Structures are given as C-alpha cells and as structure tokens.
C-alpha cells in the first residue's frame, strides 16, 4: 500500500474510532474466547456481544445529544445524567400516583411519558438559555443541573425509590412480545436513525457545524446562532429524558441517586472517541455511536479483568488522555514533522 493511500485511510474521521473499537474487542476475545458466541434461549438472544449492545443503549442516546451540543457550543452538557433521573422520577411518580410501589398504573402511561419528556426538555431549555443567551461557558452552566438535578428528582419522588411493577412498563427495558432483540437496542436505533434523517434532510446539521466553527461569521450570513445553540440543548435534554425512561424501565423504578450516574462522563468520552473535536464544529454522529459501544465494550472488558466499579473512572480517564492527545494539533504536527524527516533521510540515503 502506497504512503498516499495509507495517509488517506489514517486521516479519515472514523479511522480512530473503528481502531479503538477493534482493539477493545480483540482484548475481549483474548480474555473471553467465546466473546462473539451468540445463542438463542427461549426465543431471546444471549451473548457478550448482545450484552454490550444492550447495555450501551442509553449511552448511545446520550452520545447523540452530546454530539450536537458539543458541535454547536464547543462545550459539553454535564447534566444529562441528572436529567435522566428527573425524567424517570416524573414518569414514575405520575404512574404511581405518589405511592412508593404499585402493581397497576394510577394514571395514563402516555401522560407520564409526555410529562417526563417535557420535564427533560425544560431542563435542556434552562441549560440552553444560560449557554446561548447569557453566554455562560457550557460546563459551568450545566454544572447547576448536574448538582441540583438529582435533588429535584428526590423532591419529585419525596425522597423515596418509586417502584412500578407493571409488565408493560418493564418492556422498554426488556423485550416486547416475542422479539429476540432487547427493547433498549430498538430505542437506540430509532433515536439514531431519526436524528440522522433530520440532520441529513434539513439544513440543521450544516447550521450546527457553521455555528460551532465560527458563531460570529454564522450570524453575518443570517443564521440565528443563539437559537441554534439553544435548540441543541433542548434536543440533548429530550434525548436524556428518553435515556432516563429506558434506564428506569430496566429497574422498573425511579432511583434518583443511581439512574444515569456518571453517564455524562461516558457520553463525553464517546464523543471524543468518535473523532469529534470537543471545541465544536464538524461532527460525526456515527463516530459518537461507535465511541459509545467502545466505552461499553471497555467497561465489559475491565469487569472481566476483575476491575472494581469504583476503579473504572481511572482507566477511562487514561483513555481520555490518550484520545485527546492523539487528536491534538500539536501531536499531529509532531507526527507529520517526524514522518517528513524520515522521508527526507530516506531520500538522501537513496541519492548517496
């Protein structure tokens, strides 16, 4: 393979995300030889791969919203985990009618879901107002809900874990009918497809990139930078709400302390692993999705290596440092200069 073709492949946006995913999967294969084995038991798919895809569903949904926020504002929404808890609390509290545990809906499921999504959209709008209108740095602005969000969820549920022991509610986190595919996977697929279609069939994706690259220039050509940034935060809030409903359905309850805990960091890491520049601008939705599955595969690998849950952030932090370094302009220039020196040395040797 010629140097030009190799350079073209390695410079592709999805090259690094795919390499990272393959590397993690290979480690899994070495650690667990039957990692890719998939079986069907009682009409349901089983296997490590299925478990990774299933458990990554909420993270995929969050990563989609985080990608848009990062591209438009050049910052990250660190409140998405808390927003998940708020959405779950609102939904379960309406379904339970204020009781701590129910075996039948006290109110309409549709009403509860709509209320939960409206609550999460309101959280996103609050973040968007601070970032887009008041020009507060995104991580500082979203720190408010990151800190207070779980407290709000506790207020909604009166400080208790609300259990919804109804089969139809548990389907969102389990299986629908005789479907062999876990329902959260379907939620993730539908979310990615809908957002991808909207970005492709409308000019929203181009507007987001334009605002992220240069907000002042975007305003000069007639784009409402404030509204576009605001809209991305609202979308991110709604997607966090959907992820919260899926997570709540998995455990058929609203646990304000644990739903979405630390997932905001994984979502940011997924965006970084996806080859997206954390300072805003051009983005790759598919890259973030690959990054989300890489994170879940990494988590599965670390658990297989008997790494304790409270030690996981340390290893993930190491991955973040490596990825950010590989994406930095300084590192790329260093590699390019080193490559140029090798080529010049080889050329001089050939002339001699």
pLDDT, tens digit (0-9, with 9 covering 90-100), for 41-81 = 888 888 888 889 999 999 999 999 999 999 999 999 999 99
pLDDT of residue 3: 64
pLDDT, tens digit (0-9, with 9 covering 90-100), for 183-231 = 999 999 999 999 999 999 999 999 999 999 888 888 888 889 999 999 9
Q: Does 122 score more than 80 pLDDT?
A: yes
The answer to whether the Cα torsion of 15, 17, 20, 24 is positive or negative is negative
pLDDT of residue 171: 84
pLDDT of residue 2: 59
Q: How confident is the model at residue 293 (pLDDT cuts 50, 70, 90)?
A: very high
CA–CA distances in Å: residue 263 to residues 84, 233, 273, 301: 10, 17, 15, 17
Distance of alpha carbon 156 from alpha carbon 309, whole angstroms: 29
Q: How confident is the model at residue 334 (pLDDT cuts 50, 70, 90)?
A: confident
Q: Does 347 score more than 80 pLDDT?
A: no
160 CA to centre of own chain: 28
Supply the pTM of this predicted model: 0.90
CATH 1.10.10 fits 3-306, yes or no: no
pLDDT, tens digit (0-9, with 9 covering 90-100), for 180-194 = 889 999 999 999 999
pLDDT of residue 315: 81
Distance of alpha carbon 228 from alpha carbon 26, whole angstroms: 40
């Amino acid at each position: 393979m010629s140097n030009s073709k190799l350079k073209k492949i390695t410079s592709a946006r999805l090259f690094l995300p795919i390499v990272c995913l393959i590397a993690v999967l290979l480690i899994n294969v070495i650690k667990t030889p039957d990692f890719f084995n998939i079986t069907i038991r009682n009409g349901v798919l089983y296997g490590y791969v299925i478990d990774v895809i299933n458990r990554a569903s909420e993270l995929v949904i969050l990563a989609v919203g985080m990608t848009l926020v990062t591209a438009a504002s050049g910052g990250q929404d660190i409140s998405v985990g808390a927003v998940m808890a708020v959405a779950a609390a609102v939904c379960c509290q309406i379904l339970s009618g204020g009781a701590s545990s129910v075996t039948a809906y006290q109110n309409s499921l549709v009403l509860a879901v709509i209320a939960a999504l409206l609550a999460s959209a309101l959280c996103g709008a609050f973040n968007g107002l601070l970032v887009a209108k008041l020009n507060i740095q995104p991580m500082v602005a979203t720190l408010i809900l990151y800190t207070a969000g779980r407290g709000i969820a506790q207020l909604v549920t009166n400080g208790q874990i609300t259990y919804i022991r109804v089969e139809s509610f548990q389907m969102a986190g389990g299986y629908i009918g005789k479907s062999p595919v876990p329902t959260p996977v379907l939620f993730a697929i539908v979310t990615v497809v809908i957002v991808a279609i909207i970005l492709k069939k409308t000019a929203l994706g181009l507007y987001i990139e334009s605002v992220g690259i240069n907000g002042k220039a975007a305003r000069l050509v007639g784009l409402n930078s404030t509204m576009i940034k605001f809209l991305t935060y609202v979308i991110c809030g709604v997607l966090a709400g959907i992820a919260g409903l899926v997570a709540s359905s998995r455990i058929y309850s609203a646990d304000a302390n644990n739903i979405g805990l630390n997932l905001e960091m994984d979502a940011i890491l997924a965006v970084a692993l996806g080859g997206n520049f954390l300072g805003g601008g051009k983005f790759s939705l598919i890259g973030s999705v690959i990054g989300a599955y890489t994170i879940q595969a990494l988590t599965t690998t670390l658990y297989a290596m008997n790494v304790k849950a409270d030690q996981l952030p340390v290893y993930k932090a190491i991955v973040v440092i490596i990825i950010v370094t590989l994406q930095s302009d300084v590192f790329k220039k260093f590699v390019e200069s080193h490559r140029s020196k090798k080529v010049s040395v080889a050329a001089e040797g050939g002339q001699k």
